[in-house]
Amino acid sequence: MAGCRAVPDGPVCGRRWRSLPVLERVVVIEASAGTGKTFQLSNRYLGLLAHGVPPDAILATTFTRAAAGEIRERILSRLAGAVQSEEAAGELAEQIGMAGLSVNDVRRLLQRTVRRLHRMRIGTLDSFFGQLARSLALELNLPPDWEVVEPSAAGPLVDDAIRVTLRRESRGDLEQLFHRIHRGEAARSIAEALRQTVANFLDAFREAPDEAAWSNFPPGRRCTKATLQQIAEQLQRYQPDEDEQIDPRLVKAVRADAARLRDENWEEMLQRGLLPKIIDDQTTYYSRPIPQRLVRLYRRLARHVRAVVLDELRSATHATYDLLRRFSRHFERTKRRRAVFEFADVPSWLLRLWRQERLARTALQQTAFRMDTPIRHLLLDEFQDTSLLQWWVLEPLVEQVTGASERSSRSNGRCDPMQEGTFFCVGDSKQAIYRWRGGRAGILQELPRLLPNARRRPLNESFRSSGAVIDAVNQICESLADGARKSGAAGDHLLAAQRWVDNFPRHTARYAERPGYAAVEVARVQSETDGAGVDLLRSVAERVRELNDQCGGRTIGVLVRKNDEVAGITYHLRRLGVPCSELGGNPLTDAAPVEAILSALQLATHPADTTARYHVTHSPLGEVVGLSAEATAAQVRRWAAGVRRRLQYDGYDAVLADWAEELEPVCTRRERSRLRQLVRFARAFGDAPLRPDEFVRTVRAQRVPDPTADRICVMTIHQAKGLQFDCAVLVCPERSLAGSPGGVSCVVQQQSPTGPIERVCVYRGQKVQQVLPPELQRMFRDDLQARIIEELNLLYVGLTRAVYALHVIVAPQGKRQGYTKAARWICGGLGVDLVRAGGATADDGQIVAGGEASSATRTLWELGDRKWYREPATCPDRPAAAEDRGTPPAEQTVEPIRFAPRRRSRRGRRVEAPSTIGAGGRVNAASLLGVFDEASLRGRAMHKWCEMVGWWEDGIPSDARLLAAARTELGTTGEDGRLETWLQQWRRLLGAPRIRSLFSREHYCGPDSPLPPEIRDAVVRGTARLEVHNEAPFALADGARIVNGIIDRLVLVRSTDGSVCGADVIDFKTDRVQAGDGPSLRQHVERYTEQLRLYRRAVARLYGLPTEAIACRLVFLESGDVCSVDPQ
């Protein structure tokens, strides 16, 4: 929009913000799934813009980059849509609460926003914290070139810090610490034990870096040795009195306890015998009363065992802290030495700065100054996923913003957004599913206490789901506590279920009339030998195939709990011939070619690794890398050294790209996709000096999705958050609702969700927990309830992904399976006997709830219309990128947005492609639209084949490789006939002497060499060498334009000192020029001359060469003509 009149700041319609109640200044929206969170946040943002607030004074944050991009897109698209008509402008005005906006007002607002697009602060909290840290780099003592890497790239940093820790710390001290942590059990290796400790506890250490929190345990009272000996003797001599009606096995159990007491085997004593019953306040043993004299004796013993356990917990927890303190010191030095940090480091720096009272106020003032504009308005999305560290960093900014609002409310009840701040927060504690990543939903629930003037506004009307789906969500969620009770749940499980249900608001559907269906189904038992998990995954795949056949063309989301279930269902679907997209993410090693490449890298590091050697030499990769099974040990060592040297000079991405290209002809479609993902993964590491085995370990630890364009998507529930599907298939998890205790490393205690961590305790099992003091037991109980609630949140997120149809599929249940299964709770709440239903076999056609028969599942409960798919879809045919709009617009034809003609900026440069130079700025429209005629396709294929030729003397790739590369380039698999014909034509053209000479080293040494004589002589003498670069990219600032282009073939002449002394630029053309047609040839050469001269200027500037040292040649493949282009 260059050249338009500048738009001044201030309200676009010339008025100040209308007076609003003071509570509107601080708004906390609790928005259920599908109720339009993004729509509400964009309303607030647009309202602030409309009242004249500059974009850089507004901070809008969300949880992911994709969601941040959607917020930005939503703001711009709503403004662009509102300029179409007065009616659209009026609708926008009503939504943002600013009546009277006209089309001209909205147009001015759009112009102002687009002009300041680069000033908009819309992103993740991590990106905002990065901006803060860069503005305070001096105060934080940061290196000038520091950067933050993705978690997948942090593994080598940890490995390096572990090596430094083991090298510089006393081995004896480390062994003693691990002895305390593991209660005397020997670890497999110190390095591995340290790596596991860091993975489990480093996040807790960042949140609680003070030693006091790791040593905060109540004292215990141990018995003296004499007292213990006395108790042991009394237990050993115990004989029941005549009036004591005991079970005969009691005496045996008591004497076994006496032996354990003498051996001080406290762990076994907590597992067996009478002590666990006494601690649990049980009064009987095998249904017979326990004598009171034994009860009194065991209670004295229980006090001693409690003291022993407390001492062990205190020792293990403090040893963990000491180990983390030592490691973190070396870890911090390693990261500073490399100037590479993790995302979690940034809020830790800022928090330390905030907590220095002398610097905190100055730092905030400096931040506003260095970031040009103070942030006066906070808009926080997905707030339930905010971590403690993130909140502690945000808290001063929140106080600053809300403090201004509170002062204005006390003065006159009004707030001018141009002068005073506002706070707007959106979240949903029912969708808090990232506790394992540090998210604390309690912070959202604590906001009303922290901000007394906050107005809480619930949103429970779904704009996404049909009435049947919402009814199913309500019935399932509201009955979970009843289902838990019927399943036998008690204690913390029942309390957690009741807490969750009490906080669940009843949902409504805006479009209740939409056709919809919901059902709970049980998988049929298909094999007596396979486990229930295998039956479940196979049944889900078969059921999805049936649904796909019924509602073809609709999107189907298959949602599971774990990544291994994603792989299992994807495997079964593909066996059934059902195309699907795998978004859950699995290691790249699930593809055989990737595993072979990783074995080659392992062998490059450890040439004596016989397993890796066997794998490489007995796979197609062996021939590609030049390693045979007959190679001697010395030959393998030389090969490994060559690979390491090439990795060092060319980089991982270049080496792996070459190997992947060679392997593609023998790979399936999915394997080729995985190879390309491996190359992109390697490219993300850049020039990081990784050992090959470190790279292998990093790749193995990274989970990468395998997305395709298929309408069936298989993913984890975490991946599905923010998406929607016409039909959602939720696979009810097999595991306990509390998750696996083995995945819990520690528990923490706080007085409030936003307060400091007062106590950290390493995790111990139920038997140890029951002997602990009440305050410690409460910590473990709170942690258990929090894990159960998060699992119920996952269930809720899965249920609310459906637009029209929801299918909940559960596994067959036996009578002995526990009460902690989600399937039991769901079916129990709906009044379905899952145990009776779970006994059905594949031949049993009984329908429990009258549902439609299926070969894969049985319907236990249903509501709605089974034929919902007969109605045409009114939602997008792909999963939405985030929550639905608050009020979806009616279907209508909208005029496309037309941008103003491009004008040259006074400060910027035009970006052009070399192909438009000399063509009057014309661009082939077909290339922009992706539509190519046969001549264009043929030209692209021949260019690709020329790109694959290095030197003629080194051989030409096989037909199979050339055809595979062309198919990939053209994105086709069904044009083999044409490709083979074109390939034969290309080989014939390549056979022409003048064309073949272009690819020959001898050509540059002969009399017809395009190089200047002195450079040619240097090549002949061996004082200079030739190197070829095919498809060489460049960017050139050429006057008022920036030219981005690719040179088809660039031959460089490099002297022995490494400098470039000459070059040959070759550009292949497939234009239809007949041999001997001089006028046509001259016309084509004239057309491309300016393009070649531009290439010459680019090479001259890149390598510091005079233009006379650079040859430029046009090669017309059809006629076999090679034409030189002279310098200007």
Q: Where are the alpha helices (DSSP H) in 862-950?
A: 925-929, 934-947
* The one-letter amino acid at 592: A
Geometric angle at alpha carbon 650, from 649 and 656, rounded to 5°: 135
Question: Distance of CA 288 to CAs 244, 248, 253, 658, 910, Å?
Answer: 9, 10, 14, 76, 92
pLDDT higher than threshold 50 for residue 840: no
Determine the longest span between alpha carbons in the chain, in angstroms: 126
Backbone φ and ψ for 933, nearest 5 degrees, come out as: -85, 180
* The one-letter amino acid at 796: Y
Q: Cα separation of 481 and 502, whole Å? A: 9
The two counts, helices (H) then strands (E), for the chain are: 42, 28
The whole-number average pLDDT for the span 204-225 is 92
- 737 and 792 in contact (C-beta within 8 Å)? yes
- For residue 1066, the cross-strand partners are 1049, 1113
Comparing CA positions, the residue from 123, 65, 723, 116 lying closest to residue 379 is 123
State both tokens at 656.
């792996």
Q: What share of the chain is helix, strand, coil (3-state, %, to 5)?
A: 50, 15, 35
- 1028 and 1050 in contact (C-beta within 8 Å)? yes
pLDDT higher than threshold 70 for residue 20: no
Q: Cα separation of 555 and 1041, whole Å? A: 45
Q: What's the pLDDT score for residue 477?
A: 96
The whole-number average pLDDT for the span 848-871 is 77
Q: What CA dihedral angle connects 352, 353, 359 and 360, to 10 degrees?
A: -100
β-strands 508-509, 517-523 pairing: unpaired
- 652 and 690 in contact (C-beta within 8 Å)? yes
Give per-residue burial for 949-985: e unless 16+ CB within 10 Å, then b: beebeeebbeeebbbbbbbeebeeeebeebbeebbee
β-strands 288-289, 1110-1116 pairing: unpaired
Geometric angle at alpha carbon 687, from 682 and 688, rounded to 5°: 85
Q: Cα separation of 376 and 370, whole Å? A: 15
The whole-number average pLDDT for the span 969-975 is 59
The whole-number average pLDDT for the span 1123-1127 is 84
Geometric angle at alpha carbon 301, from 298 and 305, rounded to 5°: 130
The whole-number average pLDDT for the span 644-671 is 87
State both tokens at 317.
């927890």
Of the CA atoms within 13 Å of residue 282, those in its CB half-sphere come to 12
Neighbours of 374 (CB within 10 A): 16
Q: What's the pLDDT score for residue 922?
A: 47
Rg (CA), the chain: 35
The whole-number average pLDDT for the span 1035-1045 is 70
Which residue would you say has higher pLDDT here, 563 or 233? 233
- 714 and 569 in contact (C-beta within 8 Å)? yes
One DSSP character per residue, 496-562 reads HHHHHHHTPPPPEETTTTS--EEEEEEEPB--SSS-HHHHHHHHHHHHHHHHHHHTTTS-EEEEESS
Identify the residue whose tokens are 């070399």: 914
The whole-number average pLDDT for the span 190-211 is 91
pLDDT higher than threshold 70 for residue 161: yes
β-strands 746-750, 757-762 pairing: antiparallel
State both tokens at 492.
């913390």
pLDDT higher than threshold 70 for residue 718: yes
Q: What's the pLDDT score for residue 526?
A: 60
The whole-number average pLDDT for the span 617-637 is 92
Which residue would you say has higher pLDDT here, 689 or 30? 30
Residues 6 or more apart in contact with residue 891 via CB below 8 angstroms:
874
Which residue would you say has higher pLDDT here, 225 or 11? 225
Q: pLDDT (tens digit, 9 = 90+) per residue, 1063-1120?
A: 999 999 888 777 778 888 888 888 888 888 889 988 988 888 898 899 999 998 888 8
Q: Cα separation of 947 and 331, whole Å? A: 45
- Local confidence band at 708 (pLDDT 50, 70, 90 cut-offs): low
Q: pLDDT (tens digit, 9 = 90+) per residue, 229-278?
A: 999 999 999 888 877 888 888 999 999 999 999 998 988 898 888 999 99
Q: What's the pLDDT score for residue 686?
A: 57
Q: pLDDT (tens digit, 9 = 90+) per residue, 464-492?
A: 999 999 999 999 999 999 999 988 888 89
pLDDT higher than threshold 60 for residue 739: no
Domains of the chain with CATH codes: 22-141+345-462 (3.40.50.300), 150-341 (no CATH), 467-580+713-742+796-870 (3.40.50), 586-706 (no CATH), 914-1124 (3.90.320)
Q: What's the pLDDT score for residue 1008?
A: 87
End-to-end CA distance of the chain: 36
Evaluate if pTM is beyond 0.75.
Answer: no
Q: pLDDT (tens digit, 9 = 90+) per residue, 504-525?
A: 999 999 999 999 999 999 988 6
Neighbours of 167 (CB within 10 A): 9
Q: Cα separation of 351 and 947, whole Å? A: 53
Comparing CA positions, the residue from 384, 728, 466 lying closest to residue 719 is 728
Q: pLDDT (tens digit, 9 = 90+) per residue, 377-427?
A: 999 999 999 999 999 999 988 988 887 444 444 444 345 566 678 999 999
- Local confidence band at 362 (pLDDT 50, 70, 90 cut-offs): low
Q: What's the pLDDT score for residue 328?
A: 95
Q: What's the pLDDT score for residue 856?
A: 83
